[in-house]
Amino acid sequence: MSRLGQPTFFLKKFLLFDCNTQMGRNLSYDAGREQAKILLSALLSLVEDLGESEDCADLEKRVKVNWQADTKLWVTYSTLESLAELTRRYGDSLDTEKIRNALLCLNALKIIDDKREQISATTRTNSKVWRFALSFPSIDTEENLNWLFESDGEWDKRRQAQKSKPAKVPKHTAAKSHGVDWQKICRTMLEKHKRLTTNELLFANEDMKFELDDIHVPLALMQRTKPDSRSVDVLPEQGSQLLQPSGYEEKQRFTHEDFLRQVLEKGVGKTKGKRIALIGEPGAGKTTLLQAIAFWILDNNLGLPIWISLADLQQQDGNLEDFKKYLLQKWLETAIPETRLIQGIKADFTNQYESGRVWLLLDGVDEIATGHTAPLQAIASQLQGWVAKARVVLTCRLNVWEANLNALEDFETYRLLDFDYPEDVKKFIDKWFEPRNLTPLPPLRNAESRVVSYKERKIIIICRGWRKIDK
């Protein structure tokens, strides 16, 4: 009770996040519009003046900005203080709080793509260094500002679309039950597996650290459904066609985003997104894609993803550990401390599973050796009864999948495609160098791209970049 005898309400505990709130911070969109215009005008002016004025040389070190991919503006390094100084340099001064409001409004409207590293996966605390990108229609300053801020421009369109969405409770509360935040638990478990299944180069040191999405060219997938006919004579430059799956033909291609939205979220296809197989050559990015799917499921509140590295379930006798036993015992006991794992929590997890909230992400079907039983048949025998109530996305190498096409015939098959040369190769190189504000070397020669695999190309790109830096 307060001194006036009125009850005191702790509003913070009941704070709802709506379109005017980001991470608990109230945003001022009316002021943010003008603040964003001042900030972006200064950034566009700076990129025009790069290298032309000695007065800007020091500022250019603290606000690193350049054009990438023609009309995509990349800010690879900045702080609120340096951006405030930038606005002062170009006429209309904003303090750091106004800069922050402008950036958060731009981010909430999805006008900028926030590239800041997340220091803590648990608290989702962002670094003080601001890195972001935004796509403009051109490199002309006036045209870009008109496109974004004029009446009925891009800002107004996105603001109106945002207002039309109903306010919602933070996603993590939707998955809470019996005092257990299942989404948070799944995210923590995924972070552990991400470290174990991600190339160590990604975490070599802070200077070289980057998010997978920062360099990941959205993978195109194709569904194969019918036998593929091949000609006897294949030209040398078409030799990669021999690596295409022989048991399928291409039916439809999906961009990375379309695959997530159409197949997994909307359930387009014969299995309605409930049985998906991702197949590809070694190093094609199957595990990386499965990781992206896992966190995307959480970020979009579509369920509870549980990662299973199938090689870890192989027992000494060659058989796979029973999935139900693994989930209800090992996984659950690892995810929740023994002191908290009461019967009510176990029952709640069972309810979550039986209601179809759980996604089983099975990584590496090709990595299991099950004696006389083929790997695909071993998986098929596990996905029965209670276990079958989950949605399943699995990864498998192409040759293992083709060895027994009918074992998982109820799955829809999507193959990770190779990079097209030179477009996709150039995108990959640009994505690698963008956050470091470096200039990439010339693209790989045509002959190089044909003789080396995707994984080898990646290593060549990185090594050649390091060699240039050393020089």
Per-residue model confidence as pLDDT tens digits over 407-429: 898 899 898 887 666 776 776 66
- Checking if the pLDDT of 452 tops 60, the result is no
**335 contacts 189 by C-beta, under 8 angstroms:** yes
Among residues 427, 413, 95, 12, the alpha carbon closest in space to that of 226 is found at 413
Whole-angstrom distance, CA of residue 74 vs CA of residue 132 = 6
Whole-angstrom distance, CA of residue 367 vs CA of residue 314 = 9
The pLDDT assigned to 315 comes to 84
Query: Given the structure tokens 């002191």, which residue do they identify?
Result: 339
81-90, 121-130, 356-365: segment of lowest average pLDDT: 121-130
**307 contacts 294 by C-beta, under 8 angstroms:** yes
**Maximum average pLDDT range among 216-225, 276-285, 370-379:** 276-285
Whole-angstrom distance, CA of residue 128 vs CA of residue 276 = 39
What is the per-residue DSSP string for 45-61?
Answer: HHHHHTTT-GGGHHHHH
What DSSP designation does 168 have?
B
Burial class from Cβ neighbours inside 10 Å (0-12, 13-18, 19+) for residue 171 reads middle
37-41, 56-60, 96-100: segment of lowest average pLDDT: 56-60
170-184, 264-278, 311-325, 332-346: segment of lowest average pLDDT: 170-184
- Checking if the pLDDT of 279 tops 50, the result is yes
Sequence-separated (6 or more) residues with CB below 8 Å from residue 412 = 223, 263, 269, 270, 271, 275, 276, 277
In the chain, what percentage of residues exceed pLDDT 70? 65
Whole-angstrom distance, CA of residue 325 vs CA of residue 122 = 28
The pLDDT assigned to 283 comes to 81
105-109, 299-303, 462-466: segment of lowest average pLDDT: 462-466
The pLDDT assigned to 309 comes to 93
Pairing type for strands 21-22 and 25-26 reads: antiparallel
- Average confidence (pLDDT) over 105-113: 90
The pLDDT assigned to 56 comes to 73
Q: Give a three-class secondary structure readout of 359-414.
A: EEEEECHHHCCECCECHHHHHHHHCCHHHHHCEEEEEEEHHHHHHCCCCCCCCEEE
- Checking if the pLDDT of 139 tops 70, the result is yes
Q: Is the peptide bond prior to 422 cis by the omega test (within 30 degrees of 0)?
A: yes
What are the extents of the domains in the chain? 17-163, 183-416, 423-470
Region at 114 (left for phi over 0; alpha for psi -120 to 50; beta for the rest):
beta
> Is residue 120 very low, low, confident or very high in pLDDT (cuts 50, 70, 90)?
very low
> Is residue 198 very low, low, confident or very high in pLDDT (cuts 50, 70, 90)?
low
Burial class from Cβ neighbours inside 10 Å (0-12, 13-18, 19+) for residue 417 reads middle
The whole-angstrom distance between residue 165's C-alpha and the CA centroid of its chain comes to: 23
Whole-angstrom distance, CA of residue 453 vs CA of residue 458 = 9
Read off the pTM: 0.56
| The CATH number of domain 183-416, selected from 3.40.190.10, 3.10.20.740, 3.40.50.300, 3.40.1180.10 | 3.40.50.300
The pair of three-digit structure tokens given for residue 60, joined into one six-digit string: 């250019």
Sequence-separated (6 or more) residues with CB below 8 Å from residue 309 = 193, 196, 197, 363, 364, 367
Pairing type for strands 132-135 and 125-126 reads: unpaired
Q: What angle do CA 269, 298, 76 make, to 5 degrees?
A: 105
The pLDDT assigned to 370 comes to 64
**Maximum average pLDDT range among 28-42, 244-258, 368-382:** 28-42
**Maximum average pLDDT range among 25-34, 72-81, 449-458:** 72-81
- Checking if the pLDDT of 69 tops 90, the result is no
Query: Given the structure tokens 């606005």, which residue do they identify?
Result: 87
Region at 156 (left for phi over 0; alpha for psi -120 to 50; beta for the rest):
alpha
Per the model's pLDDT, the better-predicted residue between 471 and 106 turns out to be 106
- Average confidence (pLDDT) over 152-161: 89
Whole-angstrom distance, CA of residue 56 vs CA of residue 76 = 17
> Is residue 180 very low, low, confident or very high in pLDDT (cuts 50, 70, 90)?
confident
